Chains A and B, each alone.
Chain A
Amino acid sequence: MIINSRFFNRSELMGFIVLAAVLFVILPLTLDVFRLNLVAKYLTYAFVALGLVLCWGYGGILSLGQGVFFGLGGYCMAMFLKLEASSVENTKIQSTPGIPDFMDWNQITSLPLFWQPFHSLTFTILAIILVPGLFALIIGTAMFKRRVGGTYFAIITQAVAAILTILIVGQQGYTGGINGMTDLRTLKGWDIRPDHAKIILYFVEVVLLFACIGIAQFIRLTKLGRILVAMREQEDRVRFSGYSVANFKIFAFCMAAVFAAIGGAMFALNVGFMSPSFVGIVPSIEMVIYTAVGGRMSIFGAIWGAILVNFAKTSLSESFPQLWLFGLGALFIAVVLAFPNGLSGLWADYVQPRIDRLFASRKSKSGWNDNSVADGAPAE
């Protein structure tokens, strides 16, 4: 075992191994395909939570518009899948064959121009990354260059989420309206609906998630990550030291947007539809909730937050629909008031010291003096 790896300190390495074991081995072996698909759905939010750790936990920028990027990524993917599902043979009965069904219902007779490039998978994959990234770049540049931050930024991103939802719902002919894009079938001829496809998609998603974890961890460890933390704590001092605070903020915001968009694209693939109910204000705030509950400072904490809160949501709203909102609201207030660092903070304060002591006592028995515990990154 690589204990002195520089990339992860020991507690992070343990978090990594536990998460990898649970996602790669334990869940696929124990859950049926339906439940595994639910986990895949929860994990799409883990991408968003990961982005929020960088942007909110480290950079101190609270974005209430992550649903926008989740939605943009999801819609890009869904547009590609929808086009493939609406081939001329599949849509013979429509008055205009070859266009998506909702366009036909809305008396649109030819494919709109901005839909045309989504025939290409390469373009779609680029669009999933670039469209939300550029959008975040524009918002971020406009806001951070003028030193708008904190609450104002939160409210404006929230307004953007509201605008996009109203737009998607209003432009039914181009977007599928409130129902969204349903009935997605194949990816390059490969059916995404049967069980074995769902299992493969799950593993693709987990691999992508770990790639994103790697990127986030890399950013955290480089000087960039340190500057983000410094900026959160004392913005003016960083500015006076000669760093361009705005550019670092824009970078963090764009990274969060891209992560959210990847999550959205995986959502469209795994769940098989995309609708404006994952774009608006409520889902955007829920995404912040997952991060807060898991721990806004911890990459692994936020991912566990996304999985556990969603799991609780599904199981509680199945059995006690009345209690669920009370529970969620109370959980949220409790997180803010009592443990601002979320589950990972509780773990670091109460569980981690015991494990460390256990390890330390074993090592002293074997006579091996280990200094790596002391010089690991301090728990934030």
Chain B
Amino acid sequence: MFGDYSIGDLGSIFVMQGFAGLILFSVYVLMALGLAIIFGQMGVINMAHGEFMILGAYVTWMTSNFSQSYLPSLFGGYFFLAMILAFIASGALGMLVEWVLIRHLYKRPLDTLLATWGLSLMLQQAYRSVFGAREVGVELPQWMLGSLHVTDSIEVPINGVFVMCLTVLITVGVAYVLYMSRWGRQVRAVVQNRIMAGAVGINTEKVDRYTFGLGCGIAGIAGSAFTMIGSTGPTSGQLYIVDTFLVVVFGGAASLLGTIASAFSISQTQSTLEFFMSGSMAKVLTLLAVVGILMLRPQGLFALKVRK
């Protein structure tokens, strides 16, 4: 299979394939970060996570159309505005959902799964009624098109680089908020021991609501970033939800570092395998490996030791 390529070509192919894996990695991390907060920290199985993501994607699409028609001079920078709007929209919806639905179900984690699945069905139908069943794609500003020439045979697409930078920024931001800020300390305290956290004066209900909102907001940003790579339809969210859950579970539910490590290993495995076989078989093998490893090591890659 390698006979037709020279050593240099092979090297370039692996670099390109590795880079494709890095873009996939960024998308996985963005999607999984929000879920790592909601599922890993709060223990809520949010099956509607994909739909929060798609909300962000639709907000981006609307912002893009709006700036194209009314503010063409600012079109180059609409994306940053869109991300902020996506964060606010998804976060606000998340807080509303937490208040209406999730807060009644903290003691029944399996039931959150069922209830949020119902929510995801309703959101999908809402998207279909409002935006139509067809997939939509945003128009990228000029500076994001094209690719960077690294060498003669290696090219990297600019939008991919942008998504990667964005991922790094958001990951650092989330890590800072969770591990350095006062509010992050409160979140972790509530996760570890809800009753004691309440006893020392933390408003656990408020912390829950904002944590859920933050997780959903990050999903919104992920959806926003996603529009630069693929198109968005009402049911796109459902396609990614299992992958995202596997990333979080594989990494060890309560560990941010684990989420990043597992997103990296899953995406690199998949994109490397894709070079050797069809995309669907690559995906099957990757998922099988993940499930197999999870059966051997149920706590995931990085297990946080917490007294239960």
Contact = CB atoms under 8 A, between A and B. Distances in A.
Interface string B91-107: 00000000001001100
A269 interface: no
Contacts of B290: 159
Contacts of A335: 114
B121 A332 contact: yes
Interface stretch (A1-9, A237-245, A321-329): A321-329
Looking at A62, A142, A329, the one whose CB has the most chain B CB atoms below 10 A away is A329
Contacts of B144: none
Chain A interface, >50% SS class? helix
Contacts of B111: 336, 340
A282 interface: yes
A181 interface: no
A166 B283 contact: yes
Interface in B86-134: 101, 104-105, 109-111, 113-115, 117-122, 124-126, 128-129
Interface stretch (A38-46, A117-125, A147-155): A147-155
Interface stretch (A82-90, A187-195, A248-256, A285-293): A285-293
Contacts of A332: 114-115, 117-118, 121
Contact of B298 (A148, A281, A330): A148
A140 to B, nearest CB: 11
B280 interface: yes
A162 B244 CA distance: 12
Contacts of B281: 170
B288 A163 contact: yes
B151 interface: no
B129 A336 contact: no
Nearest to A56: B110
A229 interface: no
B96 to A, nearest CB: 14
B69 to A, nearest CB: 28
B52 interface: no
A170 B114 contact: no
Given A158-B242, A162-B242, A326 B249 contact: no
A340 B115 CA distance: 11
A159 B287 contact: yes
B294 interface: yes
B11 to A, nearest CB: 29
B257 interface: no
A282 B235 CA distance: 11
Contact of A333 (B45, B115, B287, B295): B115
Contact of A154 (B113, B115, B278, B294): B113
Given A148-B298, A159-B242, A167-B284, A329 B114 contact: no
Interface string B173-204: 00000000000000000000000000000000
A169 B122 CA distance: 27
A292 B114 contact: yes
B110 A150 contact: yes
B249 A152 contact: yes
A194 B212 CA distance: 55
A169 B278 CA distance: 12
Given A151-B109, A328-B121, A322 B287 contact: no
B260 interface: no
B115 A337 contact: yes
A160 B47 CA distance: 16
Interface in B269-302: 278, 280-281, 283-284, 287-288, 290-291, 294-295, 298
A289 B121 CA distance: 12
B246 to A, nearest CB: 6
A166 B270 CA distance: 14
A156 B284 contact: no
25 contacts: A143-B295, A146-B298, A148-B295, A150-B110, A154-B45, A159-B242, A159-B291, A160-B291, A162-B287, A163-B288, A166-B284, A170-B280, A170-B281, A282-B238, A288-B114, A289-B114, A325-B128, A326-B125, A328-B118, A329-B118, A329-B122, A330-B122, A331-B118, A333-B115, A337-B115
Interface of A: 62, 64, 142-143, 146-148, 150-152, 154-156, 158-160, 162-163, 166-167, 169-170, 281-282, 285, 288-289, 292, 322, 324-326, 328-333, 335-337, 340
10 closest Cβ contacts across the A-B interface?
A170-B280, A332-B118, A329-B122, A329-B121, A325-B125, A142-B295, A329-B118, A333-B118, A336-B115, A148-B298
